[in-house]
Amino acid sequence: MGRFKRHWKAWLIGAIALGLLAFVGGPWFYINVLSEPPAQELALKDGQQQGGGDAVPVDGTWTVSEGSQAGYRVKEILFGQNTTAVGRTGKVTGTVALSGTQITSGTVTVDMGSVATDKSGRDAQFRDNIMSVSQFPTSTFALQGPVDFGSVPAAGQKVTVKAAGQLTLRGVSKPVQPDLSVVRTGDSIQVQTSIPVVFADYSIPDPGIPGIDIEDNGLIEVLLNLKKAP
């Protein structure tokens, strides 16, 4: 009988240890082996800073064109394991007006229902419970004043300037001051920015669910490819 109890206890301890290993190791295996690594932050490519022939004159209206992207980056804790969720969409529209050395106005709109990650369940949670896209289908960024470069950037020259704007998420608008990185390349202008966001500031509900904790803040990432309007 004593021998049976010892074996039973050993089996129970082993079962508990295996359970703990599965609880901790399962998410690690899922994140590090089965899942793709998170996408890199949106950034101007090296090639975009080399120039490509003479750049077109800057004065006029520029349209957000194909190749533009926007999305979010948020840190998650999945059953004790750190990971990063990255959502992206190419459904970005807008216009930017330039005159001389200044961006005089600009508005960018993102279709929130098209933002997607590598997990369909996460995307459903994002659309329905977090961003309520049926009620708030778009998010926008609008400049609130001119942005002055000081001089017209040469083709291939990367310039970074501070902009005053208004960011609207889930129907709530807040002032923001992001850094804009800009480069002219032939007939295009590329603009990149990242905007830190605290979810509570925009009445975004806690995005966490049982087993998944999500930080209370994240990054809005934007990369625009601008083409001059006819």
What is the average pLDDT across 32-40?
A: 62
Tokens found for residue 7 = 């074996």
CA distance 103 to 120: 38
Assigned architecture for domain 39-228: Beta Barrel (2.40)
SS (H, E, C) 202-225: HCCCCCCECCEEECCEEEEEEEEE
Task: Give the Cα-Cα-Cα angle 107, 134, 75 (nearest 5 degrees).
Answer: 75
Which of 143, 152, 157 is CA-nearest to residue 222? 143
The whole model's pTM is what? 0.81
pLDDT in tens, 171-206: 999 999 999 999 988 889 999 999 999 999 999 998
Confidence of residue 18 (pLDDT cuts 50, 70, 90): very low
SS3 of 140, please?
Answer: strand
**Which residues fall within 8 angstroms of residue 49, CB to CB, at 6 or more apart?**
156, 157, 158, 183, 185
Residue that has been written with the tokens 């004593």 in this structure: 2
CA distance 136 to 113: 9
- End-to-end CA gap in the chain: 91
Q: DSSP per residue over 75-86, as a string?
A: EEEETTEEEEEE
pLDDT exceeds cutoff 60 at 31: no
pLDDT exceeds cutoff 80 at 215: yes
Domain boundaries, the chain: 1-34, 39-228
Quote the DSSP letter at residue 56: P
Residue type, 47: G
Q: What sign has the CA pseudo-torsion 126, 132, 133, 134? A: positive
Are the CB atoms for 89 and 126 separated by under 8 Å?
no
Distance (Å) of CA 62 to CA 37, 149, 191, 193: 34, 17, 12, 17
pLDDT in tens, 64-101: 999 999 999 999 877 667 889 899 999 999 999 999 99
Are the CB atoms for 122 and 149 separated by under 8 Å?
no
Are the CB atoms for 192 and 179 separated by under 8 Å?
no
Quote the DSSP letter at residue 31: I
Q: What is the mean pLDDT of the chain?
A: 83
Within a 10 A sphere around the Cβ of 157, how many other Cβ atoms?
A: 15
